[in-house]
């Protein structure tokens, strides 16, 4: 692309469209009340711009739809499996690749195998399903993010980095209780912030020094590699696939949700070098997901992912992807809306603690903002704060480290005018933020409460 022009355009044109359904503010107010003020509970057709998640919601390419026609649905040894396996190993050459229907299935299998009471699994920040799967095994999920990562406004190029001193002291004291060290790239729960190659190297060295396996939660590996390319000294001359392969070479395995960077509507995998662990995991896979050459997926899904992986690392795409997320974040910042900075890769995170300072954390300021964005403008976001993380394994409730509202950007799905509309709505809601009420939970399920909890305004 000619770098002398400043406008970074979508590196695609639209081939097939889906209608959006317009609704009125009073219809939306009724819909959200009916949904128990939980945005997960809305009918998606009542949502205008759906920024709930970037997971499984991206637009597949012409070439992915074409690949789907090559799907071979043989139970065992399908050619689609071998294409998928080769595409994964092109970037992540682990000895064993175990396909799953999505990321959490890979987590469930791994932590059922290596977790258990008395164990600790450190991570920069566990995503909600990762934390829940670690805890479901009886183990403790411990977040060891650098201090800057907890400060919404601290400007640090790699706010997803692991706190190396904290990791080392944990490994020094409790090495035998740590079955695996995880690193989430990019750090979703902490604002979509990248981890530097230098930090990944250091985590790898520490793990190998203490002889503990090092795994990546690599859903957004391509976006993370782009940030390394853009921000890390000595990396700008490298190709994205080379950076990805170096990251993979530093780890002993990975869990993956292929619903993110690889442009899948469904899919995931677990990969590792350890033969003994792989055999245990495959045995569980057969119990819960399927035969090891399809996991929880159809042959056509494997084909779509093999093609999507190739598209995920294209520099024109990644430049557009990261720039278009920053476009939204920078506009909100300019309008005085507090956002996590620097802007992350797949989403913009509004700092609801600052914007709704009148609402205490246990009255869920992030939920209050999410409900208002929907009611006023039909935008669906997600709370990443005390609703998601407040309930502790011992039954107590405590405020989360941050109260964020995430506007996640589905890949290749919305245009710049959709984003301009979002900017207008968020700015209007933010101006009126002091009038928004807090919330109380009227129904709370025993785990992962944010998905199905019911609320009422105070
Ligand atoms: N790890 C991370 C960092 C994630 O962001 C997700 C999913 C998972 C694991 C689990 O993968 O959904 O395929 O089972 N994140 C989605 C989100 C749901 O909205 O951020 P999954």
SS (H, E, C) 200-213: HHHHHHHHHHCCCC
DSSP designation for 379: E
Ligand 1 atom, smallest distance to 104 CA: 14
Place of tokens 């959006």: 20
145 Cα–ligand 1 center, Å: 18
148 Cα–ligand 1 center, Å: 23
189 Cα–ligand 1 center, Å: 10
Q: Are 292 and 286 in contact (CB under 8 A)?
A: yes
Q: Are 99 and 302 in contact (CB under 8 A)?
A: yes
- Specify the residue with its C-alpha closest to ligand 1, atom 15: 55
Pocket test for ligand 1, best of 129, 182, 305, 348 (most atoms within 8 A of CB): 129
20/46 Cα distance (integer angstroms): 9
7 Cα–ligand 1 center, Å: 31
Ligand 1 atom, smallest distance to 52 CA: 19
Ligand 1 atom, smallest distance to 188 CA: 3
- Specify the residue with its C-alpha closest to ligand 1, atom 11: 103
Output the pTM of the full model: 0.96
- pLDDT tens sequence for the chain (458 residues): 556 888 889 999 999 999 999 999 999 999 999 999 999 999 999 999 999 999 999 999 999 999 999 999 999 999 999 999 999 999 999 999 999 999 999 999 999 999 999 999 999 999 989 999 999 999 999 999 999 999 888 999 999 999 999 999 999 999 999 999 999 999 998 889 999 999 999 999 999 999 999 999 999 999 999 999 999 999 999 999 999 999 999 999 999 999 999 999 999 999 999 999 999 999 999 999 999 999 999 999 999 999 999 999 999 999 999 999 999 999 999 999 999 999 999 999 999 999 999 999 999 999 999 999 999 999 999 999 999 989 988 899 999 988 999 999 999 999 999 999 999 999 999 999 999 999 999 999 988 899 999 999 99
- Specify the residue with its C-alpha closest to ligand 1, atom 8: 103
Q: Are 389 and 424 in contact (CB under 8 A)?
A: no
317 Cα–ligand 1 center, Å: 21
372/35 Cα distance (integer angstroms): 14
127 Cα–ligand 1 center, Å: 7
* Alpha-carbon torsion angle 158, 190, 336, 408, nearest 10: 110
Q: Report the relative pairing of strands 347-351 and 268-272 from DSSP bridges.
A: unpaired
Burial label for 333, CB within 10 Å (0-12, 13-18, 19+), is middle
Ligand 1 atom, smallest distance to 53 CA: 19
Ligand 1 atom, smallest distance to 102 CA: 13
284 Cα–ligand 1 center, Å: 21
Name the token pair of 279.
């055999």
Ligand 1 binding pocket, CB closer than 6 Å: 53, 55, 102-104, 127, 129-130, 184, 188, 217, 219, 257, 259, 268
């Amino acid at each position: 692309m000619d770098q002398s022009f400043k406008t970074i355009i979508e590196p695609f044109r639209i081939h097939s469209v889906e209608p959006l359904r317009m609704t009125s503010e009073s219809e939306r107010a009724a819909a959200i009340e009916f949904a128990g003020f939980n945005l997960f509970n809305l009918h998606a057709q009542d949502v205008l711009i759906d920024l709930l998640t970037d997971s499984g919601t991206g637009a597949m390419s012409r070439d992915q739809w074409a690949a789907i026609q090559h799907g071979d649905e043989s139970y065992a040894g399908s050619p689609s499996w071998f294409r998928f396996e080769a595409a994964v190993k092109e970037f992540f050459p682990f000895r064993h690749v175990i396909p799953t229907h999505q990321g959490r299935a890979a987590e469930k299998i791994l932590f059922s195998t290596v977790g258990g009471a008395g164990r600790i699994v450190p991570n920069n920040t566990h995503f909600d399903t990762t934390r829940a799967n670690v805890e479901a095994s009886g183990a403790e999920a411990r977040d060891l993010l650098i201090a800057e990562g907890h400060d919404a406004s601290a400007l640090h190029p790699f706010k997803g980095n692991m706190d190396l001193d904290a990791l080392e002291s944990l490994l020094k004291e409790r090495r035998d209780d740590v079955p695996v060290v995880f690193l989430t790239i990019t750090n979703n729960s902490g604002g979509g912030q990248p981890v530097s190659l230098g930090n990944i190297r250091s985590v790898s060295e520490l793990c190998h020094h203490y002889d503990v396996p090092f795994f990546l939660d690599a859903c957004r590996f391509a976006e993370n590699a782009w940030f390394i390319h853009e921000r890390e000294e000595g990396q700008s001359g490298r190709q994205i696939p080379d950076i990805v392969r170096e990251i993979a070479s530093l780890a002993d395995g990975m869990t993956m949700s292929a619903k993110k960077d690889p442009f899948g509507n469904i899919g995931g995998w677990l990969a590792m070098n350890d033969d003994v662990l792989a055999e245990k995991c495959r045995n569980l896979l057969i119990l819960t997901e399927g035969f090891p050459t399809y996991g929880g997926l159809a042959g056509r899904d494997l084909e779509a992912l093999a093609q999507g992986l190739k598209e995920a690392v294209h520099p024109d795409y990644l430049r557009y992807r990261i720039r278009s997320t920053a476009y939204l974040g920078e506009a909100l910042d300019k309008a005085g809306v507090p956002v996590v900075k620097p802007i992350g890769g797949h989403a913009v995170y509004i700092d609801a603690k600052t914007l709704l300072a009148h609402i205490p954390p246990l009255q869920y300021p992030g939920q209050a903002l999410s409900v208002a964005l929907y009611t006023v403008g039909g935008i669906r976001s997600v709370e990443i704060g005390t609703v998601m993380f407040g309930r502790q394994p011992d039954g107590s409730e405590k405020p989360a480290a941050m109260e964020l509202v995430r506007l996640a950007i589905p890949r290749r799905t919305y245009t710049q005018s959709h984003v301009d509309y979002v900017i207008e709505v968020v700015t209007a809601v933010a101006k009126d933020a002091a009038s928004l009420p807090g919330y109380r939970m009227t129904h709370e399920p025993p785990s992962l409460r944010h998905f199905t909890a019911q609320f009422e305004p105070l």
